[in-house]
Amino acid sequence: MINNSKNKKNNRPCRSMLYIPGDSPGMIQNAPVFGADSILLDLEDAIAASEKDAARKMVRSFLRSFDFGDLIVTVRINGADTEYFKKDLMDIVPCRPDAVRLPKCSSPEDVISADSLISEIELESGIPVGCVQLHAMLETALGIENAYQIAIASPRVSALTLGGQDLTADMGVQKTRDGWELFYARSRVVLAARAAKISAFDTVWADINDPDGLFKESKQIVELGFTGKAAIHPSQIEVIHRAYRPDPKELAKSQRIVEAAKEAAREGKGVISVGGRMVDAPVAARAENLVAVASLYDYEEESPV
Amino acid sequence: MTRFAKNSLGRMVPAEVPGVGPFDPYSGPFQRINSVHGIVGASVRLRTVDRHGSKIAASLEQAIKNSGLENGMTISFHHHLRNGDAVMPMALETLKNMGYKNLTFAPSSIPDAHDCVADYIKCGLIGRLYTSGVRGRLGGLISSGEAGIPVVIRSHGGRARAIEEGQIEIDVAFLAAPTCDKLGNISGSSGPSACGSLGYAITDATYAKHVIAITDNLVDYPVARNISIPQYRVDQVVSVNSLGDPKKIATGAARITRNPVDLKIAHDTFRLMKVSGIIAPGFSFQMGVGGASLAVSVYLEEYMKKKGIVGSFGLGGISGHMSRMLEEGLFRALFDVQSFDAVVTESVSGNQNHVEIDSSWYANPFNAGCIVHNLDCVILAALDVDVNFNVNVLIGNDGVLRGASGGHCDTAAGAALSIVVLPSFRGGVCSIKDSVSNVTTPGETVDAIVTERGILINPLRQDLLALARGAGLPVVDIGDLKSRVEKLTGVPEQQERAGGEVVAVVEYRDGTLIDAVYRPER
């Protein structure tokens, strides 16, 4: 768990991202209800060609008038290779969502061209340039191979996200329950994101009737180092959050490290030590982050079904 | 000119219903109950039958003739066959063809499917209506004021009380009997039209002056197992081809909802129950089969298993989920006044700790101990609520009757923790009103309302409020939530109600009038 330093809204962890079709007001109006850390209002795959305009207008008016509370709000726009791309950005960016998600990023140039268009729009609409972040969605083999270059293509890029469905298709393989076919791609995305000090979001778990499979996969991607995972149904949020819940033993250890770090700072010592053993700075930073994540959980709470 | 009185909730209710009699205004949930000790209730009419005689009547018509039913008398039915029931329409049609007029129709409730009751009102067969609820075309007819007959809506416990107190004098009870023998022993849990418990019918059979059992499963004497109603309460037996549609009588078990709003409500409801401390060994519980209520039991089941908690009893309308919890040993007994699906029917007949109870035992406040008065927690649905926690389960946003009182006010009054679950808005209308169009259950008996946008706790329950806040539950003020939701939905125009025509009265369980139903302005 890295610190999502580029996320607004008090740097809070962003473990879950709930996909909501942009043409579904009934679902958007309930977005703040389900405890997700963030939502993705989708203008791309969830929307039929005939509904693209309607969805864009819907999302635009929600962004302008609806109180999303402390939800991080991202809009997935249509790809640069579509006729909707420019219109999407022109209509959505002035409403200042926290970020737009750019699908099918395969090269740094994809980011750079979107970035300059967004900057233009920001300038024209009188909002601070750079205020709308960009999540680069990697869902082609080429995109995975270019992951780090994409991550550092613009300071606007605050997250890499893995699109598993399209990627497996591009790789000519099937998405399996165990997910080995994505192991390398996932590792690659995480490393690139960590190297660029931005967030890394994992792909969706498509079977909403298989929370056990989702939990297993979520545990895996937490262990790999992803900072969050997408959800396609509100019932998946809790499962993903459960996977991010720090182990109580590890939490206790981290709390000791955090205490020791505070003490070291108070006493002006450069070296943190716990039980006579020295603790490295990255370990201390990780412990601090873990304690912050743990604060989102009620350790008395039972795990619901 | 009808005289009105203002009851303790500030609702204007008639002091008298023409053709029915005078009513006291509601004055609090336990006021009348506390003063009832020692009064004398209804008497049971004694009658005998010939030794070694037969109770089999050749036809329903013959049985009606034998019963001595006259115009103006009261007939009763039960609604255990749900939407599969063919007995109410069959009997009403026969009565109409025999030329009867102006009967008081007093079923335990009316299944949604029975729009035909509206026609029997229009043709003059039904001259008074006592029921738990009305919906569909019947609800429309009554709300329109065109029915032109007195209508009294009672809760299940209130109906049992009214029968035992003598306000409903049943002259002839027509009892759909899924299994019956020639002397009238009836079981609800076997036969092609099996429906499980016959709880409401038991009370009718006990107090009716004459009981006609109608069966499609006349078995050799005796029905030995699971007798719901014994032969000494039954005067005649009529054999018919079918009691109705078995598929609609014994429906499949309700599925756990995937509706995310309902699941959120269910989870927060469970969390509130947990922090209240009520889920402990000996815990007793009742829930509905609505989406959110049923989903609460999923969380509850997992928690009780994990903690090794064994509850004392589950109560009520029993769902398949509850009978599974009995099988799993999570409750020591189920008290079943009404079974909701086919799985439950098997449980009634197969599990000795699944006990069929009558409606008086279930919820009548005027006896020496109904079970709702011993209930720890109940989860209830609602159409809407108001800022004083009053609950309406009868009237839709259009002002038209479309619901049933059921055991709502009985369990809310009885349970130590009564929780109403409802989405914060429905059909684009905020579920929290300044004042509900109808009070079915008084706010003073509701401890909390759980919506997907927060938990509302009755100020009367400061203890619960402190526990919920302490545990970090999403507690919000009911007025604040109302304004927040109204920002989304807008504010609907308030319907004028007082002064309009009264189309029905709503009794509280103790027999006082908690509210009246007015004809909506058109």
Domains of chain A listed by start with CATH number: 8-244 (3.20.20.60), 248-294 (no CATH)
Taking CA atoms, B459 is separated from A133, B445, B475, in Å, by: 45, 12, 12
Largest CA distance in chain A: 66
- Report how far residue B321's alpha carbon sits from residue A156's, in angstroms, rounded to the nearest whole number: 52
Each of the 305 residues of chain A gets a pLDDT tens digit; together they read 333 334 445 567 899 999 999 999 999 999 999 999 999 999 999 999 999 999 999 999 999 999 999 999 999 999 999 999 999 999 999 999 999 999 999 999 999 999 999 999 999 999 999 999 999 999 999 999 999 999 999 999 999 999 999 999 999 999 999 999 999 999 999 999 999 999 999 999 999 999 999 999 999 999 999 999 999 999 999 999 999 999 999 999 999 999 998 888 888 887 888 878 888 888 888 898 899 889 888 776 655 44
* Beta-bridge mates of residue B518: B502
- Report how far residue B492's alpha carbon sits from residue A208's, in angstroms, rounded to the nearest whole number: 37
Q: A residues 37-76 near B, CB within 8 Å?
A: 67
* Beta-bridge mates of residue A75: A41, A100
Using the Cβ of B23 and the Cβ atoms of chain A, whether some distance falls under 8 Å is answered with no
A vs B, Cβ pairs < 8 A, gives 39
Say yes or no for a CB contact (<8 Å) between B472 and A298.
yes
Hey, what are A130's tokens?
């750079």
Say yes or no for a CB contact (<8 Å) between B260 and A235.
yes
- Report how far residue A245's alpha carbon sits from residue A293's, in angstroms, rounded to the nearest whole number: 7
Chain B positions in Cβ-Cβ contact with residue A305 (cut-off 8 Å): 298-299, 302
pLDDT score of B497: 61
- Report how far residue A240's alpha carbon sits from residue A25's, in angstroms, rounded to the nearest whole number: 24
Cβ–Cβ < 8 Å for B288, B379? yes
pTM of the model: 0.91
Chain A positions in Cβ-Cβ contact with residue B453 (cut-off 8 Å): 33
Query: How close, in Å, is residue A62 to chain B by CA atoms?
Result: 11
Largest CA distance in chain B: 73
pLDDT score of B254: 80
* CA-based nearest residue to A194, from A148, A234, A238, A129: A148
pLDDT score of A269: 81
Say yes or no for a CB contact (<8 Å) between B263 and A234.
yes
Using the Cβ of A34 and the Cβ atoms of chain B, whether some distance falls under 8 Å is answered with yes
- Report how far residue A120's alpha carbon sits from residue A113's, in angstroms, rounded to the nearest whole number: 11
Cβ–Cβ < 8 Å for A127, A94? yes
Burial A282-299 (b: 16+ CB within 10 A, else e): eebebbbbbbbbbeeeee
Query: Containing H/E element for B397?
Result: none
* Nearest-Cα residue of chain B relative to residue A299: B471
* Nearest-Cα residue of chain A relative to residue B453: A33
* Nearest-Cα residue of chain A relative to residue B267: A304
Chain A positions in Cβ-Cβ contact with residue B471 (cut-off 8 Å): 298, 300
Query: How close, in Å, is residue A25 to chain B by CA atoms?
Result: 11
* CA-based nearest residue to A145, from A86, A200, A185: A185
Chain A positions in Cβ-Cβ contact with residue B298 (cut-off 8 Å): 305
Hey, what are B268's tokens?
């927060």
Low-confidence ranges of chain B (pLDDT < 70): 1, 494-499, 522
Query: How close, in Å, is residue B318 to chain A by CA atoms?
Result: 22
Chain A positions in Cβ-Cβ contact with residue B467 (cut-off 8 Å): none
Chain A positions in Cβ-Cβ contact with residue B264 (cut-off 8 Å): 33-35, 234
Q: What DSSP letter does each residue of B469-499 carry, written as one string?
A: HHTT--B--HHHHHHHHHHHH--PPPPP-TT
Q: Please report how many Cα atoms fall inside a 13 Å half-sphere around the Cα of residue A14, on the Cβ side.
A: 30
pLDDT score of A8: 45
* Nearest-Cα residue of chain B relative to residue A305: B299
Using the Cβ of B268 and the Cβ atoms of chain A, whether some distance falls under 8 Å is answered with no
Using the Cβ of B303 and the Cβ atoms of chain A, whether some distance falls under 8 Å is answered with yes
Q: β-strands B16-17, B21-22: how paired?
A: antiparallel
Beta strands in B310-453 (DSSP E): 311-318, 331-339, 354-356, 377-380, 384-386, 391-392, 403-404, 417-421, 425-426, 429-430, 432-433, 448-451
Burial B463-500 (b: 16+ CB within 10 A, else e): ebbebbeebebbbbebeebbebbeebbeeeeeeebeeb
pLDDT score of B522: 61
* CA-based nearest residue to B402, from B278, B504, B324: B504
